A and B are shown apart, each in its own frame.
Chain A
Amino acid sequence: MDLRFLGGFKLTFEHLGRRRVTREYPDEKMPKQPRQHGRHVLNRYEDGMEKCIGCELCAGVCPADCIYVRGLDNPPDHPVSPGERYGYVYEINYLRCIPCDLCVEACPTEAITETKLFEFSFTNRFDAIYTRDELLVGDDGRPKKLPWEDWREGDDLHTSGWMRATSPSGAAAFEGVVQWSGELGYGVRAPEGGQSGRRDDAATGMLPLREVMEAHLLPDDIPFEHRGMRGKVFRARASMDKKRRKLVAARTRRAGLKAAR
């Protein structure tokens, strides 16, 4: 008689004490992937000029046919963009958009980029069509929050320009080299390490997913320094850091409130 099924008892019992991977979504969000594709923004240069030149390449490349652009000549006395033309009408229909990022690849001026914001639920079709006003970033370079979008603190950080962060055109020589211009509000960000192994997780906003998932990895897949006693020390230190950061944040908030009063 094959008694291996008894292993199921051990396994299920062990799982009682394991960490849960489930996030309680509406209360707590998953950390966003560093290159998450969300809704778009139209970027500006640091002097406030719009980057879009109304070339319609994004509309041409869009496989879902969700972008509608009409360009117009810049008025000579107060130009909107530094080029000859600017995006006079710019609309994206989010009932059609399949955040594939091809528009971002096509854009010659990095005017359109994708944020990590994807949690919006509109209640009518007209809200689904984002107009130029809604897509354009504000004076501080951050996307505009629309009433039906669910944002938490920090969700709008590092929103754009992430797509070209690794090696452009797949050439290893350009790995880790910054290839894009600075943006309003964000400036130039550190490049991802790519395959070279140089990585600066803090600077690139890359969350070490492996650590989040560690409780459910096979023993061999857990990084050596996170196993056993060393792992315990590592985790304790990490949680202490987290607590300290929370404390500091609370303190600054309190100080801010006091100052406001």
Chain B
Amino acid sequence: MNPLASFATDPLFFHGVHWVELLIVVIKVLAAFVVLLVSVMLMIWFERKVISDMQSRIGPNRAGPYGLFQTLADGIKLFFKEDLVPDQADRFVFKLAPYLALLPALLIFTVVPVGGDLSIAGHHFELQVADPPFGILFVLAMSSVSVYGVMLAGWSSGSKYPLLGSVRASAQMISYEAALGLNVVAVVLTARALSTRAIVASQAHAFWDWNLIRLGFVPFFLFLISITAELNRPPFDLVEADSELVGGFNTEYSSIRFALFYLAEFMNTITMSAVVVTLFFGGPDGPIPRFIPTSDIWMPIVWFALKTLVFLFIYVWFRAALPRLRYQLMDLGWKVLIPMSLGWLLVVAAVIVWGWWGLLVALAEVVLGAGLARAFGVGAARTETEEAF
């Protein structure tokens, strides 16, 4: 098989690869990089501003108008700070880890469709850095790779709090990845494609075709919760629980390496919001019934940005409103999210086969679930009485 066959879905390469096509790709990569970095800068400002509003504070307002350049100032400050590597650290891994955290965040964004199609000088291409046929698997793979960044950072620091933080991080991220994947499977089942653009196109008729509504809201909420845990954002930020672990896995980091972790965290927030929008909210598709391949270039981009912004706000809102989970974290992941995702996935699959099958499966699940809950209850009660004796 031709190795270029995997790119056959991208209309840019229909007529072979010429240097102009390569130039377009390079420009797309650069544009995505710049846009992502700038939006991270704005996101940090946005988060600090919104959370201070929610706490009746003023927030950053010194650097630039409305404190917009605060992030820039912080970045410059961090850049000029002393770069420390602890004595006990595994120096190579210690220096490698921040990049392992940052790269997946950058790479995930490459498969997110930002807008419709664009034609320049006879070259037809998509507003998306790359559209591999395995798009959504790539997202899952990259979010797993980012576990390595956190884990290796904590381990290579040679210090106990970072180690504890990274152990928590890897446990948490791996267990929530299961729930994450199961909900992605539901989306893939309805879209019948792994490519992110195909997933978006399958929702592109009207807003009631968005996966949010088509899949019945539950997968979306489960996905949102597990993605918040995957991002290590509050209320799932046990990884860097500052009151317990000093700063979590990045305690020993300083200067630019710390800045890279910080950057990766917020970049992940943005890319994951974009992924949520892609999977459940029709991506660049507006709520008015409309098709994606439209002559209008800007409106899809604006819709995409707006929807992503809503999710960014929701993440900040989470942080302001919810206290950090304690040891309930694993319970929530394994005992609530995964069974619910699995159950809903079965129902979705059955409905796709035949509507009544869906009802049957749902009923069976309710009965089985009730039985299981009862069994667990009895077991728990028995354990308690045994312990009492």
Interface residues of A (CB under 8 A from B): 5, 8-9, 11-13, 15-16, 18, 20-22, 24, 216
Contact A15 B317, CB 8 Å, known A5-B322, A5-B323, A24-B61: no
A-side binding surface: helix, strand, loop or mixed? Answer: helix
Check B317–A12 contact: CB distance below 8 A. Answer: yes
Enumerate chain A residues within 8 angstroms of B57, measured Cβ to Cβ: 20, 22
Check B61–A15 contact: CB distance below 8 A. Answer: no
- In the complex, A11 Cα to B54 Cα: how many Å? 8
Check A8–B321 contact: CB distance below 8 A. Answer: yes
Contact A18 B322, CB 8 Å, known A9-B317, A13-B317, A24-B61: no
Check A216–B56 contact: CB distance below 8 A. Answer: yes
- In the complex, A5 Cα to B322 Cα: how many Å? 7
Query: Which of B50, B56, B317 interacts with A20 by CB under 8 Å?
Result: B56
Closest 8 CB pairs of A and B: A8-B321, A12-B54, A12-B320, A9-B321, A12-B321, A22-B58, A16-B53, A15-B54
Check A13–B56 contact: CB distance below 8 A. Answer: no
- In the complex, A20 Cα to B58 Cα: how many Å? 7
List the A residue with the shortest CB-CB distance to B58.
A22
Q: How many residues of B contact A (CB 8 A)?
A: 13
Given A13-B317, A20-B58, 8 more A-B residue pairs with CB atoms under 8 Å apart are A8-B320, A8-B321, A8-B323, A11-B321, A12-B55, A12-B317, A12-B320, A15-B53
Most buried by B among A8, A13, A24: A8
Query: Which of A8, A9, A18, A24 interacts with B56 by CB under 8 Å?
Result: A18
Enumerate chain B residues within 8 angstroms of A5, measured Cβ to Cβ: 321-323
- In the complex, A236 Cα to B57 Cα: how many Å? 24
List the A residue with the shortest CB-CB distance to B57.
A22
- In the complex, A237 Cα to B53 Cα: how many Å? 27
- In the complex, A203 Cα to B91 Cα: how many Å? 70
Interface positions, chain B 13-44, Cβ under 8 Å from A, are none
Enumerate chain B residues within 8 angstroms of A11, measured Cβ to Cβ: 321
List the A residue with the shortest CB-CB distance to B61.
A24
Check B322–A24 contact: CB distance below 8 A. Answer: no
- In the complex, A11 Cα to B321 Cα: how many Å? 8
Enumerate chain B residues within 8 angstroms of A24, measured Cβ to Cβ: 58, 61
Interface flags for B159-172 (1: CB within 8 Å of A; 0: not) read 00000000000000
Enumerate chain A residues within 8 angstroms of B56, measured Cβ to Cβ: 15, 18, 20-22, 216
Q: How far, in Å, is A8 (CB) from chain B's closest CB?
A: 4
- A sample of 30 cross-chain residue pairs with beta-carbon separation below 8 angstroms, ordered by A number, consists of A5-B321, A5-B322, A5-B323, A8-B320, A8-B321, A8-B322, A8-B323, A9-B317, A9-B321, A11-B321, A12-B54, A12-B55, A12-B317, A12-B320, A12-B321, A13-B54, A13-B317, A15-B54, A15-B55, A15-B56, A16-B50, A18-B56, A20-B56, A20-B57, A21-B56, A22-B56, A22-B57, A22-B58, A24-B61, A216-B56
Q: How far, in Å, is A130 (CB) from chain B's closest CB?
A: 33
- In the complex, A9 Cα to B323 Cα: how many Å? 11
Enumerate chain A residues within 8 angstroms of B61, measured Cβ to Cβ: 24
List the B residue with the shortest CB-CB distance to A11.
B321
Q: How far, in Å, is B232 (CB) from chain A's closest CB?
A: 20
Enumerate chain B residues within 8 angstroms of A216, measured Cβ to Cβ: 56
Enumerate chain A residues within 8 angstroms of B323, measured Cβ to Cβ: 5, 8
List the A residue with the shortest CB-CB distance to B50.
A16
List the A residue with the shortest CB-CB distance to B55.
A15
List the A residue with the shortest CB-CB distance to B336.
A1
List the B residue with the shortest CB-CB distance to A24.
B58
